[in-house]
Amino acid sequence: MLQSTLIEAAQAGAAEILRYFHGEFRIDNKEGVNNLVTEADHASEKAILAVIRSAYPDHMILAEESGSTDRTDEFKWIVDPIDGTVNFAHGIPLNAVSIGIEKNGELIMGVVYNPHLKELFFAEKGKGAFLNDRRIQVSSETNAAKACLVTGFPYVYIDQPNGPLDVFARFVKKGVPVRRIGSAAIDLCWVAAGRFDGFYEHKLEPWDSAAGALMVTEAGGTITNHQGEAFTIYEHPVLASNGHIHDQLVGVLNNTHQL
């Protein structure tokens, strides 16, 4: 029932995404430049939460727009109603519902659904990762200099060494293709599916990475922080890869390895 409710919730949110897409809707701005939230974000989140609460009224929920409930159940649902809101607001069909589920602090299930491309990614702890019921796995690239990478940039830039632009420059100056498609959840799923060899970002929130992080590990990949240490969705930096190039990417991120 947990899996069916998860997928039903994602589909409910996605229906709201499609209902508003290319239509007229209110757009507001959160902290930072171009950190948008739309009427569709709220509608999607409302639809998702209704499904979850109907099936599991005692479960905790952490949602991007409405925050966290005060329940203390062993299960927590981590919800991003539209990951890639800027894309959505500009009519770009690279956005998705992302929902992860924790049990006692461990990610056990996740779904990322892009209804525009009709791509539903699903992962369950210990049971693999899937795209539309087809098992997926990470790529086999072993040389980071030949990898195809993807990244994102935070809305509020933090004055820090090895910041987003510094790291980006290290890759592109060596001719490494680094894409920026505007949805961390999709980025992580595309690493899991072998479309990208690696993904890094400096500042993500739990709802950005919860489902996608499980997708990567269940597809055979590796996910850590930028120092190569154990990853938690409650810290900002993330590095995900096929595993083969992970140490090389850690070195580039920390300016200790040259491509």
State the pLDDT at residue 73.
77
Give pLDDT, residue 29: 61
Q: Give pLDDT, residue 136.
A: 98
Residue 116, pLDDT score: 98
Q: What is the pLDDT of residue 69?
A: 64
**Computed over its alpha carbons, how large is the radius of gyration of the chain?**
17
Domains of the chain as residue ranges with CATH:
2-135 (3.30.540.10), 144-253 (3.40.190.80)
pTM of this structure: 0.93
Beta bridge partners of 241: 198, 222
Q: What is the pLDDT of residue 99?
A: 98
Contacts of 211 (CB under 8 A, 6+ apart): 78, 98, 99, 100, 110, 111, 112, 121, 123, 185, 188
pLDDT average per 10 residues of sequence, the chain (259 residues):
97 96 69 66 95 95 75 88 93 97 96 98 98 97 98 75 88 97 98 98 95 98 97 95 98 94
Q: Which sequence positions are flagged as catalytic?
A: 64, 80, 82-83, 85, 208
**pLDDT at residue number 105:** 93
What are the Cα distances from residue 226, in Å, to 63, 192, 194?
A: 25, 18, 21
Q: What is the pLDDT of residue 31?
A: 58
